[in-house]
Amino acid sequence: MRSVLEPTIPIDVGVRSQRQRIIEAMINCCAEKTYAGTTIADLVSRASISRTTFYKRFAGKRECFDAALDCCLDELQAAATRSHSSSDSAPEAVRKAAVAILDLMASKPALAQLVVGEAVAVEPAVIKRYRGLLIPALEALWDTTGEPRDSHTDRRLAFGRAQVLIYNQITAGDTKAVSDLLPEIVYISLLPFAGHEEALKQARLTGGDVSTGSGDR
Amino acid sequence: MTDNGSDLRRWRLPRGRHGLPRELVTRSQRERLLAAVVRVTAANGYEATSVADILEEAGVGRESFYELFEDKKDCLLAARQLLVDDLAATVSAAYRGPGPWVDRLRNGLAAMLDWFAADPAAARVVVVELAAVGAASRSLFQADFNRFTKLLDDGFEEEEPVPGLPQATTLAVGAALARVFESVVRGRTAQLPSLLPGLTYEVLVPFVGETVARAEEHRAAEIGGAA
């Protein structure tokens, strides 16, 4: 039986809070001055911890960055998963997931910058990891709904194209404008699986998903 | 010292009195430094590259370097600007030629792929190493991206297809960049020209639809095979 005197607060709450503060410092520093320009001193001062504590939680700057990236990817993945239900068709689910991901990026510019900008700058091969997350997730949508999927373009390229577009929008300094890209991102995500017609149809439907207009070319 | 291409040190001017104008000496040094910074950055990565590496490759002294450039970054960005200007001029010349838009577009894409394939070190500096210079890279990326989007937009004429998406030219530039980035990171820069058919399809499909884009993909493959 549990003693009333047994602590109810998890034993690692302090450690986790420190880790989380350092990770957030990393995300914000990267957005402001890029990974290359971020120093341990920046992180220490921003997270209000000591240098010793930093090195207790992370072996170095790169390990801390990798943890920050994991944290951002988890958040994006959770948002994408929540966005659609089993009653959606595969193309609808892809559209809704894209809306959820871009909305999250628009509301958290630093997260977006880290995932599509800094991570690729730190380790260009991270693209492979993104694909490893995204492509099976997209394919699974088609498999569970039992809809036919066709190979129209190399599906491995879809992420790279989306990343370039979002990065370009973010470097323009207007993260809210990321939502302007919604039709294009939905189109890119669907083209390899559903072809031009269906991709275009879903891209046009995004007009109802966002409040901001997509603007003319 | 990198082992690709010719030894830049052979372009060094002779020691002692050569009677050449100061302006020519400076230009020779500047040219060698710009070629050198691209070679060593592509070989070692920006972070690991030192000014000493650049001097060694170029055969230029430290004092002369600092008369011409503020630091490593300044030197790399100057070289990169030269490269991007050259790329834009090359693509523009191919794209702005005579003929129907679809053909001009394919010619522009082919010129772009050939340009990158011709110099893998330059390709690496332009698309990968830029990010390593820090915050300045963001506005440069932005400016370059806009420049190529505008280049594509400016080549449209009245009768050309209306795209199915509002930002189809942005999409096109993104498709091209994603292909180049992917190949450079995988060390397959020299094989870029073989991607012309697939890229032609990707760029065209939002403008002309599946059937026409597919036909153009096959045509690009035939043209590429015949060349």
Mind listing the pLDDT tens digit for each residue in A192-210? 888 888 889 999 888 754 4
pLDDT band at B119 (very low <50, low <70, confident <90, very high): very high
- The pLDDT value recorded for residue B38 is 96
Which amino acid appears at position A106 of this protein? A
Chain length of chain B: 227
The DSSP line for B54-72 is: HHHHHT--HHHHHHH-SSH
Amino acid at B2: T
A74 has a pLDDT exceeding 60: yes
Q: Could you tell me the CA-to-CA distances from B147 to A136, A181, B88, B153 in Å, in that order?
A: 35, 18, 8, 10
Q: Do B182 and A160 touch (CB under 8 A)?
A: yes
Pick A195's closest partner by Cβ from B142, B170, B210.
B210
Alpha helices in chain A (DSSP H): 13-37, 40-47, 51-57, 61-82, 90-107, 109-112, 119-122, 126-145, 157-171, 182-205
Per-residue model confidence (pLDDT) at position A27? 96
- Angle, helices A126-145 vs A157-171, to 10°: value is 120
pLDDT reported for residue A77: 92
Q: pLDDT for B182-197, tens place per residue?
A: 899 889 999 999 999 9
pLDDT in tens, A15-24: 888 899 999 9
Q: How far apart are CA A144 and CA A90, in angstroms?
A: 8
Which residues on chain B place their C-beta less than 8 Å from a C-beta of chain A? 47, 128, 131-135, 137-139, 141-142, 145, 153, 163-171, 174-175, 177-179, 181-182, 185, 198, 201-202, 205-206, 209-210, 213
> What is the predicted pLDDT for the residue at A217?
33
Chain B: closest CA distance from residue A200 (Å): 7
List domains and CATH numbers for chain B. 8-69 (1.10.10), 74-226 (1.10.357.10)
**Nearest-by-Cβ selection for A168 from B142, B164, B169:** B142
* Chain A residues with beta carbon closer than 8 angstroms to that of B163: 217
Question: Which residue has 């679809």 as its token pair?
Answer: B102
Q: Nearest CA to CA, how far is A83 from chain B (Å)?
A: 24
B201 contact residues in A (CB cutoff 8 A): 153
* Mean predicted confidence (pLDDT) in B2-27: 77
> Per-residue confidence at B227, pLDDT binned at 50, 70, 90?
low
pLDDT at residue A208 in the model: 54
Cβ contact A92:A84 at 8 Å: yes
Residues 93 to 122 of A: which have CB under 8 A from any B CB? 117, 120-121
pLDDT at residue number B3? 55
Q: E strand or H helix at B39, and its extent?
A: helix B22-44
As given in the structure block, the two tokens for residue B221 are: 């493959």
Mean pLDDT of A61-79: 95
- Put simply, the answer to whether B209 touches A203 (Cβ < 8 Å) is no
Give this complex's ipTM.
0.78
- B4 has pLDDT over 60: no
A203 CB neighbours in chain B (<8 A) are: 164-165
Which residues have a Cβ under 8 Å from the Cβ of A85 and sit 6 or more positions away? none
Highest-pLDDT range among A75-84, A115-124, B79-88, B138-147: B79-88
Encoded tokens for A180: 């302007």
Taking only the tens place, the pLDDT of each residue in B62-117 is 999 999 999 999 999 999 999 999 999 999 999 998 889 999 999 999 999 999 99
